[in-house]
Amino acid sequence: WVRMAVSQHVGNTVAIIDSWLATGMNESPEEVTDTFISLAPPWLLVRLDDDGTATIGRSRLLARLAGDR
């Protein structure tokens, strides 16, 4: 499972970078990442903490959307 997850993460990262380069790098890396995160299905963002708690890594995006830059 870990191998599959790593493979998916690498594939997603390559897609983000490729799309950013193909569009002339007009947006900041943060904007590109935030856009990807806003479009990604939740199961791609779940992280398990050491205590077994599952979190979705959208806190930076949510803060940004709320205007707390």
pLDDT (0 to 100) of residue 66 = 75
pLDDT (0 to 100) of residue 68 = 58
Distance CA 22, CA 6 (A): 24
> Dihedrals φ, ψ of 34, to 5°?
-60, -40
pTM: 0.56
H-helix segments, the chain: 2-22, 29-39, 59-65
Distance CA 29, CA 33 (A): 6
Between 35 and 57, the higher pLDDT residue:
35
Model confidence at 27, pLDDT cuts 50, 70, 90, reads very high
pLDDT (0 to 100) of residue 47 = 74
Average of per-residue pLDDT across 9-31: 90
Distance CA 8, CA 62 (A): 24
The percentage of the chain sitting over the pLDDT mark of 70, rounded to a whole number, equals 84
